[in-house]
Amino acid sequence: MSYSINKTEARLLARADLTIFNETQALMKQIITDAGNGLYETTVSDGTEMTESTPTITITGSVANPTITATPTVILGGVTVTLGTTGLSLNAVIADINDAAIAGVVASKNAANNLVLTYTAPAATTWTFVVGAGTANADLGLTSATSTATNPTSVDYFNCWQGNSTSRPKTDQMNQVILYFQQLGYTIDRLKNTTTGKTLKWSISY
């Protein structure tokens, strides 16, 4: 006996993923928060798969269990941090970097005891992070270079919406988000996030 499904069933099966659910729930959570604060409109420009505008860049040092001598420096995002003020171990290096409170930068270590720098890029037209020529680079296994974030999926959604690329699943997912809120009585629009120039934002009024 053969097995088949019709067009409607196939479309429903294709939509049986978490993308639409997660997007609508994130937007609804923000609506509830904003409405509770007396607002009549909600704008979401970051923090969801379709709107992500602050991607992360991860840089991992190539030296395991590094130690430093004296008080060398690292230069992260144009900020010079003097190390060795609390110790010479990797844990001390991590503490010194985090204590410097560089915007968007968090230092940690992985299971192999390599230094890990995680940078959350601000919403901007270019998502980059620069490691300068600090005197501790060799000890920590860092390279002086500019790193660029991989485009988040939100850029693909924006390009589909703008007609710069074609993806039936992404187009359908966005349409389902719009339909969901329209059926609940909301007015919902996609707008260009002018800060990034390559992602969208949702504007929902009620």
Q: What is the pLDDT of residues 87-120, one digit of tens each?
A: 999 999 999 999 999 999 999 999 999 999 999 9
Q: Residue 173: count other Cβ atoms within 10 Å of its Cβ.
A: 21
Tens digit of pLDDT for each residue in 31-61? 999 999 999 999 999 999 999 999 999 999 9
Sorting pLDDT into bands at 50, 70 and 90, what band is 16? Answer: low
Residue with tokens 């729930």: 25
Round the average pLDDT of the chain to a whole number and report it: 94
Q: What is the pLDDT of residue 68?
A: 97
Tens digit of pLDDT for each residue in 61-77? 999 999 999 999 999 99
Which among 16, 117, 135 is positioned nearest to 72, based on CA atoms?
135
Q: In the chain, count H helices and then E strands.
A: 6, 10
For residues 71 and 85, the answer to whether their CB atoms sit within 8 Å is yes
Residue with tokens 């270019």: 126
Residue with tokens 């329209």: 182
Q: Average pLDDT, stretch 115-131?
A: 97
Element (H, E) at 205: strand 200-205
Residue 205 β-bridge partners: 41, 187
Q: Which residue type, as a one-letter code, is found at position 64?
A: A
Q: What is the pLDDT of residue 18?
A: 87
Q: What is the pLDDT of residue 65?
A: 97
CA dist list (Å): 97 to 17, 53, 141: 40, 25, 15
pLDDT top residue among 93 and 8: 93
Cβ partners under 8 Å of residue 178, min gap 6: 188, 190
User: Parallel, antiparallel, or unpaired for β 105-109 and 56-64?
Assistant: unpaired
pLDDT top residue among 51 and 18: 51
The angle subtended at Cα 53 by Cα 51 and Cα 57, nearest 5°, is: 130
